[in-house]
Amino acid sequence: MGDDEALLQKLHHEGLTLASINKRAFAMFIDEMIISLLFFFIIQDHIAALQTPEAIVAYTQSLMLYVLLIKVAYQALFVGLYGATLGKMALKIKVVDQEYLDLPSWQAAIIRAVMRVVSEILFYFGFVVALFSPVKRTWHDKFARTLVVDA
């Protein structure tokens, strides 16, 4: 029996079901909107002072490292504390450790958050692999040894 089959049996035995790709995608959309709004409120005074669209684009591009750090912090904090971001909570899905099917460790939450951003940078390829995985695991799930299940 393969690892994926064993995980599916384990989930079935515990009465858990994997979250659908659609739920995960919508949760991601919600999280991205929250982060975008938060970032906008932080920088709105600076943007209002800029004179041209080019200056606004240059300013926002200069802040990309900060955006990535905010994304990592948001993902790691919420997954580490609650097993779910606000988007996941809204859709009633959560991240679990694949071995214990419980809240991931802080180490796993941080690894997952960093690899999630790496996947985004690499044209979301790390997300696309979930479409071909029986247990719907993205790169960040594989590296952190986590699964996303219905809460």
pLDDT category of residue 45 using cuts at 50, 70 and 90: very high
Six-digit token string for 48: 């209002």
Mean pLDDT of the chain: 96
Give 27-44 pLDDT, tens digit per residue: 999 999 999 999 999 999
Q: How many domains does the chain have?
A: 1
Q: What is the DSSP letter of 98?
A: T
Q: What are the residues whose beta carbons fall under 8 Å from the beta carbon of 74, sequence distance 6 or more?
A: 31, 34, 35, 85, 113
Q: What are the residues whose beta carbons fall under 8 Å from the beta carbon of 1, sequence distance 6 or more?
A: 9
pTM of structure: 0.93
Where in the sequence is the domain holding 80, given as residue range(s)? 3-150
**CB half-sphere exposure, 17, CA atoms < 13 A:** 6
The answer, yes or no, to whether residue 2 has pLDDT greater than 90, is: no
Query: Do the beta carbons of residue 105 and residue 59 sit within 8 Å?
Result: no
- What SS3 state is found at 70? helix
Mean pLDDT in residue range 5-17 = 96
The answer, yes or no, to whether residue 1 has pLDDT greater than 80, is: no
